[in-house]
Amino acid sequence: MSAFSTAYAGCYDVLYREKDYESECAFLLEAFTRHSPRRVESVLDLGCGTGGHAIPLARSGLTVVGVDRAPQMLEVARAKAKAAGVESRTLFQEGDLQTFAAGKKFDAVVCLFAVLSYQTSHQALLDSLLNMKRHLNPGGLLICDFWYGPSVLTQPPADRFKIIEESGVRIIRLSHPVLNTRENMVTIEYRLFEIQGSEIKSEATETHAIRYFFTPEINFLFAQAGLVMRDFHPSFRPGQPVTPNDWTVMAVASPAENHP
């Protein structure tokens, strides 16, 4: 089964309920102020999932377009935006990082939670970066994160399980990763179980192929896309050096034509 099926979308927010989207969005707002020469009023959120970043950004007064290739995730995002009272400031559309066309430009583009790592070839990554750049206003800012190669190799992924109780239902996720150092990729098979009492209500399996990157190739591909790196640090921790303990790292960039 392909990544982010209906089953996965249905329990996504429960599985990641410990993720602090509010503080991550506070970081984004501060980064917009620190790095952008213009006031950021509009944001394109690529790989928006269920709106975890889009909705807090909209609550802060920004206009946000969220894009995801999983329609089931977008349905959840729209319902959450309506419940949060930011329906008028958000628009959620189905699309792919490489080909999505909004028909307008934005002050900032964000691509978070390692969505960039789902682009598993150089060409896919380059096409995605070029598309992000096309959607930036002059002086616009790109913020994205991805899996960091040195960390993946020094702390190889291992089998894991996660059990969460929610409204009398137990959700179990089993993760089985396979590391492919030849392709710089980890393929993860997820098995999801929804259990109520002693009954298995639903069961699903899906596979995620995730690419990890090293600094030289990221710098090269960003340059090929006409993007200048403004900052590079552990995800959501500016001012700190990147180390092999950082599974995800964050790049802040802007179009090269904005720099002398």
Encoded tokens for 102: 């909004």
Strand partners, 44: 65, 109
- The per-residue pLDDT for 259 is 65
108: pLDDT strictly greater than 50: yes
Burial class of residue 91, CB neighbours in 10 A (0-12, 13-18, 19+): middle
Share of the chain above pLDDT 90, in %: 89
Where does the pLDDT of residue 194 fall: very low under 50, low under 70, confident under 90, or very high at 90 and above? Answer: very high
Where does the pLDDT of residue 133 fall: very low under 50, low under 70, confident under 90, or very high at 90 and above? Answer: very high
- The per-residue pLDDT for 163 is 95
Mean pLDDT of 111-125: 97
Q: What would the pLDDT profile of 153-164 be if each residue is shown by its tens digit?
A: 999 999 999 999
Torsions phi, psi of 21, nearest 5? -65, -35
Nearest partner of 75 among 178, 6, 177, 166, judged by Cα: 6
Strand partners, 228: 254
1: pLDDT strictly greater than 80: no
Q: Model-level pTM?
A: 0.95
- The per-residue pLDDT for 73 is 95
Domain range summary for the chain, segments of one domain joined by +? 6-147+213-258, 152-211
Q: What would the pLDDT profile of 27-84 be if each residue is shown by its tens digit?
A: 999 999 999 998 999 999 999 999 999 999 999 999 999 999 999 999 999 999 999 9
Q: What would the pLDDT profile of 221-251 be if each residue is shown by its tens digit?
A: 999 999 999 999 999 999 999 999 999 999 9
- Measured distance CA(96)–CA(98) in Å, rounded: 5
* CATH number, domain 6-147+213-258: 3.40.50.150
From residue 79, how far is each of 13, 72, 73 by CA, in Å?
Answer: 13, 11, 10
127: pLDDT strictly greater than 60: yes
- Measured distance CA(143)–CA(146) in Å, rounded: 11
Domain 152-211: top CATH class: mainly beta
Strand 42-46 and strand 63-68: pairing? parallel
Amino acid at 168: G
- DSSP 3-state percent helix, strand, coil across the chain (nearest 5): 30, 35, 30
Q: Do residues 142 and 254 make contact, with C-beta atoms less than 8 angstroms apart?
A: yes
Encoded tokens for 18: 């410990």
Neighbouring C-alpha atoms within 13 Å toward the C-beta of 225: 29
